[in-house]
Amino acid sequence: MQPNVKIIDCTIRDGGLVNNWDFSSEFVQDLYYGLDAAGVEYMEIGYKNSPKLLNATEPNPWRFLDDNFLREIIPEKKFTKLSALVDIGRVDPNDILPREQSVLDMIRVACYVREVDKGLELVQMFHELGYETSLNIMALSSVPEHQLIEAFDMIRESPVDVVYIVDSFGSLDPKDIEHQVKKFSELIPNKQLGIHTHNNLQLAFANTLTAMRNGVVFLDSSVYGMGRAAGNCHTELLVGYIKKANYNIEPVLHIIEKHMLNMREKWEWGYIIPYMISGILNEHPRVAMAYRSSDDRDQFVNFYDQVTTPEASLSPTSKS
């Protein structure tokens, strides 16, 4: 086990993709103070994208984080640091305060490999504002090797603190993860590594453990696995399984019994057959998510036929 391992709980950020960030302030507070009591090092409290750039018509405080609002929710910062995720082209640099004026400690930049240059520009800016930074390279399972090598050349020269391996489609297995971690370690030896998994194949926890044992320091997870589609590695598994002196599973169990069971009744995530199928096929879960919203949601054979028969299609844009 790694004594320097760090958990980043993504329940609000990735879980918000399940319920359009319909989280009560009470829940977010219980989560923050619970994760703090559990010894979890970071909580990603949402996205810091710009409502203007996304043409948002409704308020959505966890999607469009605002420092004044955050200070009301978390008036007293404790051990657990706060992070926010931003997307390329959706964040307005003018929205970002210098770190000493912000409740946030870390800003993570999600990007596809073809946008790494743009991602690193944002990283540079957040770094100069004093934040810890990460670059989260999405959809790693479908990145061509040469593109990754080019990206690494840029990353090595950047001040980014952490580079993430993101299994967006939940299609990688522990052997794949070991291979990726070794490649990242070899080619960007000056960077700490992170891992973000999805549970389509029930491999999120195993993949995260494999990453940790191969030197990855930053481990993403969500309480009870709450995250888009099949969800993420479960925070309670990491806190319960990793031998680190300050980890304590009981506050996480309390969050689950107080909130997550009801939330799971209301919203759907986890090991669900269409998400398993999209994982096996190494595809984005959006087609499966649309199918789960249709009347055919439990017609698994039909779904499988549609996504594996070239001439069939669920909708004109379903595979785009």
Site string (49-68) toward a copy of itself, x via CB under 8 A: --------------------
Half-sphere exposure of 272 (CA within 13 A, CB side): 24
Going by C-alpha positions, the residue among 234, 97, 131 that lies closest to residue 123 is: 131
Q: Compute the least distance from the CB of residue 127 to a copy of itself, in Å.
A: 36
The pair of three-digit structure tokens given for residue 159, joined into one six-digit string: 């001040």
Closest CA to 219 of 229, 234, 230: 234
How big is the chain by its Cα radius of gyration, in Å? 19
The amino acid present at 216, given as its one-letter code, is: V
Query: Closest Cα to residue 105, out of 75, 141, 81?
Result: 81
Residue of 30, 67, 121, 173 that binds a copy of itself (CB under 8 A):
173
| Stretch touching a copy of itself by CB under 8 A, among 64-72, 107-115, 180-188, 254-262 | 254-262
Tell me how many residues contact a copy of itself (CB under 8 A).
37
Least separation, in Å, of the C-beta of 257 and a copy of itself?
5
| Whether the Cβ atoms of residue 15 and residue 229 lie closer than 8 Å to each other | no
* Comparison of 28 and 201: residue with beta carbon closer to a copy of itself: 201
d(CA 116, CA 140) in angstroms, rounded, equals 13
Does residue 298 touch a copy of itself according to CB under 8 A? yes
Q: Does 204 bind a copy of itself (CB under 8 A)?
A: yes
What are the φ/ψ torsions at residue 254 (nearest 5 degrees)? -65, -40
Q: Which of 277, 287, 289, 307 binds a copy of itself (CB under 8 A)?
A: 277
Determine, following the binding rule CB under 8 A, whether residue 240 of this chain makes contact with a copy of itself.
yes
Taking the complex as a whole, the smallest distance from the CB of residue 275 to a copy of itself amounts, in Å, to: 12
- The reply on whether position 304 binds a copy of itself by CB under 8 A is yes
Question: How far, in Å, CA of 22 to CA of 30, rounded?
Answer: 15
Contacting positions for a copy of itself (CB under 8 A): 173-175, 199, 201-207, 209-210, 213, 234, 236-237, 240-241, 249-250, 253-254, 256-257, 261, 271, 273, 276-277, 280, 298-301, 304-305
